[in-house]
Chains A and B, each alone.
Chain A
Amino acid sequence: DSGVTQTPKHLITATGQRVTLRCSPRSGDLSVYWYQQSLDQGLQFLIHYYNGEERAKGNILERFSAQQFPDLHSELNLSSLELGDSALYFCASSGTANYGYTFGSGTRLTVV
């Protein structure tokens, strides 16, 4: 157990639907990062939140949004889902220093 909790582990949904992925960071970590892992794109950075504030955006589609709540958990919202959104979505947390992320075990999203 890495200390980073992601739910759900698996999600199957239809095209056009909306889903919410949840991440609880390791105790004491203020940063949450979201990544998408797919066979064709590899690991792509989506977005970074630090203590409730958005710090950086990567290749995140406009249909996707995220937020970090006062208790530091984060949610990634994916809407108007397309087949190509099928992927593993990871969150990772870190402290204030850049000593490496701790990853969660991921949410596998399948859009049918």
Chain B
Amino acid sequence: AQSVTQLGSHVSVSEGALVLLRCNYSSSVPPYLFWYVQYPNQGLQLLLKYTTGATLVKGINGFEAEFKKSETSFHLTKPSAHMSDAAEYFCAVSDTTSGTYKYIFGTGTRLKVLA
């Protein structure tokens, strides 16, 4: 069975500092990996995805993530945090074989950006 672990339910960074949100996955088949962001009272918005190919993927709003198979990780980073990045971030994994692209989501990391 697939699973996702997000380390740190709450992360605080200063404005302008590096953002690092951690995600580790478990999958018996090549995974597809996703990061989503959720702002208060809104739905989830896709930030970036890894399917195949280049392991460093760039997304919207200056975020990027690197797929590391040996470490089963897909950590999300942004070089310089902005106040508007404050939100909840979810990592998700889906399998590529079952004919349904259901996603397993992590428990989320709430990012707080300090002025």
**Tally of contact residues, B, Cβ under 8 A:** 24
Known: A98-B32, A103-B45, A106-B42. 18 other contacts (CB 8 A): A2-B45, A31-B101, A33-B103, A42-B106, A43-B105, A45-B102, A45-B104, A48-B100, A48-B101, A48-B102, A56-B98, A56-B100, A58-B102, A90-B43, A90-B44, A92-B44, A94-B101, A105-B43
Q: A69 at the A/B interface (Cβ < 8 Å)?
A: no
Measured CB to CB, the residues of B under 8 A from A are 32, 34, 36, 42-46, 49, 51, 90, 94, 96, 98-108
B residues within 8 A CB of A106?
42-43
Q: How far is the CA of A87 from the CA of B45 in the complex (A)?
A: 19
- 20 residue pairs bridging A and B, Cβ less than 8 Å apart: A2-B43, A31-B101, A33-B101, A33-B103, A42-B105, A42-B106, A43-B108, A45-B104, A50-B100, A56-B98, A56-B100, A56-B102, A98-B32, A98-B94, A100-B34, A100-B46, A100-B49, A101-B46, A101-B103, A106-B43
